[in-house]
Amino acid sequence: MKIGLIGLGIMGKPMAKNILKGGYTDLLVSDLNQAAVDEVVAAGAKAASNQEIGESCDVILTMLPNSPHVKTVMLGEGGVASYMKPYATFIDMSSINPVASQEIAAELAKKGVEMLDAPVSGGEPKAIDGTLSFMVGGKQEVFDKFKPLLDTMGGSVVRCGDVGAGNTTKLANQIIVACNIQALAEALTLAQKAGVDPQLVFEAIRGGLAGSTVMNAKAPMMIAGNDQPGFKIDLHIKDLNNALDCAHSVGAPVPMTAQVQEILQWMHNHEGGQKDHSAIAQYYEYLTGIQIGR
């Protein structure tokens, strides 16, 4: 099986390496960043143009920033879809609006091309160690065929329904993660202001009901003042914009999502967009004049 992967950013690059490690060595890759391409080629992949990927690959994966990027790469003038073989498969691992996923799938179906939307959660650390969580939408038989490929990159690969269900699930995931990070920042700020060591608060509550994967990953970063991105604030803003758009279209109330989005947007406007989303704690540091744990 010949595989194409377009998009070798923070997530896509280690995911490509894990595909190779998983035994899928006939891998063609493409990205605007030549250094990223060179690094994955050194690991065993082959560099190719998007046209070459479309013409020669049985399955094409994308890991791109947002809906417009996926639509342009696949359906734009000279897009990959125009070169794909009938009965090839497209797997979009980007986190985009589920409506866009359904629109892309409908266009590809006219060419006899199947599609899965398969966004991931876990950030760079889990992309590196191959334990991402995949939330997949698409036909059961297509999912079953390509689950072993996704397993090379993920510790959890779950079909959530038809095309669009994967990205709907990812939006739900991103709401939960964002609201958890905001709550964690508020709680650690409260501890600091009350004269209690945030590190000890974290150690005391992490094993109880408040404990979570989010807390375990982000509390140490907040306490250390580490804002190096595993998942950037600007990307989370993008995801929550998609969540708000989807919620408005289906009539779902999301007031907490709207609130945390405003805080993330404040961070973006104060040169925080490229920081890790745990840097939301810096919003509270700005308000209080204290630094959590320091």
How do residues 29-67 score in pLDDT, each as one tens digit?
999 999 999 999 999 999 999 999 999 999 999 999 999
pLDDT at 170: 95
Q: How far apart are CA 145 and CA 140, in angstroms?
A: 9
**What is the β-pairing status of strands 27-30 and 3-6?**
parallel
| Count of beta carbons in the 10 Å neighbourhood of residue 182 | 20
Asked if 17 is an active-site residue, the reply is: no
pLDDT at 55: 97
Is 168-288 CATH 3.30.465.10? Answer: no
Architecture in CATH for domain 3-162 = 3-Layer(aba) Sandwich (3.40)
Query: Do the first three CATH levels of 3-162 and 168-288 match, i.e. the same topology?
Result: no
pLDDT at 230: 84
pLDDT at 294: 85
Domain limits, the chain = 3-162, 168-288
pLDDT at 123: 85
E strand map for 96-193: 114-117, 120-121, 132-137, 154-161
Profile the chain (294 residues) by mean pLDDT over runs of 10 residues. 96 98 97 97 97 97 95 96 95 95 97 97 92 98 98 98 97 96 98 97 97 96 95 94 93 97 98 97 96 90
CB-based contact 94:115 (threshold 8 Å) = no
**Phi first, then psi: what are they for 154, rounded to 5°?**
-130, 150
Is the model's pTM score more than 0.75?
yes
Catalytic residue among 71, 126, 170, 238: 170
